[in-house]
Structure 1
């Protein structure tokens, strides 16, 4: 007698319950990163909203400053890496929210983001038409 037959006999005898159908609750599809450049932290947030309706900025849970939404493709640098955080802050100030930039239409190849602050300055000049114009870029500059 194989395992399936034994389990069926136990169920019929009342010694084993039928497995309950597992239903997975459908939650938010996306987790987006929110970055606070003043305390150098990144926090992931999920909302039961469409991704386009997620808040563009939230209050930083650590320093109570402004944490800006930089999407789901952002990989934060180490907290101690000040050069990389300066680059991140520079890109955010100029409207680059770490979205994918695809200069060629109907092509899935995207432009890689710069690795240094010097490269970021050239990147901002070269791809300024892809920058996101938002009112909270000024809020980051004031902090």
Structure 2
């Protein structure tokens, strides 16, 4: 007698429970990256609400300063890379929260974010109309 037949006999006699299908837990669609410039950390957070209702600013879990929501696509640099942190702080202070910037309406092509602080200054001048002006605090 093979294994499948033995398992079926046990199920029919009640000596083997039929495993229940595991349901995926309910929760948010995705987490967002919240960045603290004081302690140079990034923390992924999710809330039980639609992503468009996530707060723009929350309290940092480490230093209790403001942490800014930079979206789900943000990849933080190392803590020791101070030039990259300066660039990120400059972009955020000018309203660029690492959202996708699509210059051509209806296109899926997005503008890449700058690599250096000097490129970021040109980026702010060239793409300033796509900056996000509001910051909501939780």
TM tier relative to shorter chain: over 0.9
CA distance in 2, matches of 1:22, 1:41: 35
Q: Name the Cα RMSD after superposition.
A: 1.2
CA distance in 2, matches of 1:22, 1:64: 38
For residue 8 of structure 1, give the secondary structure of its aligned residue in structure 2.
Answer: helix
Q: How many residues align structurally?
A: 136
Shift in Å at residue 111 of structure 1?
0.6
Q: Which structure 2 residue ranges, 5 or more long, are not aligned?
A: none
TM-score, normalised to structure 2, is 0.93
CA distance in 2, matches of 1:131, 1:53: 18
Moved over 3 A (4+): none
Q: Aligned pair 1:36/2:36, yes or no?
A: yes
Residues 1-143 of structure 1 aligned to structure 2 (within 5 Å): 1-135=1-135
Instruction: Provide, for residues 87-106 of structure 1, a one-character-per-residue CA deviation record: whole Å limited to 9, x for no partner.
Output: 00000000000000000111
TM-score, normalised to structure 1, is 0.90
Instruction: Provide, for residues 21-64 of structure 1, a one-character-per-residue CA deviation record: whole Å limited to 9, x for no partner.
Output: 22122211110011111110111101000111111100111111
Q: Which structure 1 residue ranges, 5 or more long, are not aligned?
A: 137-143
